[in-house]
Amino acid sequence: MPTTLGYAAHSHDTPLVPYSFERREPLDNDVQIEILYCGVCHSDIHQVHNEWGSSTFPMVPGHEIVGKVTKVGAQVTRFKVGDNVGVGCMVGSCGVCPECQEGVEQYCNAAEFTYNSADKISGGNNYGGYAKQIIVNQNFVLQISDKLDLAASAPLLCAGITTYSPLRHWKIGQGDKVGIVGLGGLGHMGIKFAHALGAHVVLFTTSPGKAEDAKRLGADEVVVSKNADEMAKHAGSFNFILNTVAVPHNLDAFTALLKRDGTLCLVGVPDQPHPSPTVGSLIFKRRAIAGSLIGGIKETQEMLDFCAEHNITSDVEIIPMQAINEAYDRVLKSDVKYRFVIDLATL
Ligand code: NAP
Ligand code: ZN
Assigned domain for 308 exists:
no
What is the whole-number distance in angstroms between the Cα of residue 158 and the centre of ligand 2? 5
Assigned domain for 299 exists:
no
Give the whole-angstrom CA distance, residue 10 versus residue 221. 43
Assigned domain for 165 exists:
yes
Nearest by Cα to 159 from 43, 248, 272, 288: 43
Calculate what percentage of the chain has a pLDDT beyond 90: 97
* Regions of the chain short of the pLDDT cut 50: none
178 and 261 inside one domain? yes
Ligand nearest to the CA of 185: 1
pLDDT of residue 2: 80
Distances 247 to 32, 169, 187, 344, 345 between C-alpha atoms, Å: 36, 24, 14, 30, 33
pLDDT of residue 121: 84
Q: Could you give the number of structural domains in the chain?
A: 2
Please give the model's pTM, rounded to 2 decimal places.
Answer: 0.98
pLDDT of residue 266: 98
130 and 41 inside one domain? yes
8 and 147 inside one domain? yes
* 94 close to 100: Cβ distance less than 8 angstroms: yes
88 and 151 inside one domain? yes
Assigned domain for 309 exists:
no
User: What residue ranges line ligand 1, CB within 6 angstroms?
Assistant: 41-43, 46, 158-159, 162, 182-187, 205-207, 210, 244-247, 249, 267-269, 292-294, 331, 334, 336
pLDDT of residue 271: 96
What is the whole-number distance in angstroms between the Cα of residue 224 and the centre of ligand 2? 25
148 and 172 inside one domain? no
138 and 173 inside one domain? no
208 and 240 inside one domain? yes
Neighbours of 134 (CB within 10 A): 29
Assigned domain for 306 exists:
no
pLDDT of residue 1: 66
329 and 253 inside one domain? no
176 and 215 inside one domain? yes
145 and 12 inside one domain? yes
231 and 335 inside one domain? no
Q: What range does the domain containing 265 cover? A: 160-291
Assigned domain for 302 exists:
no
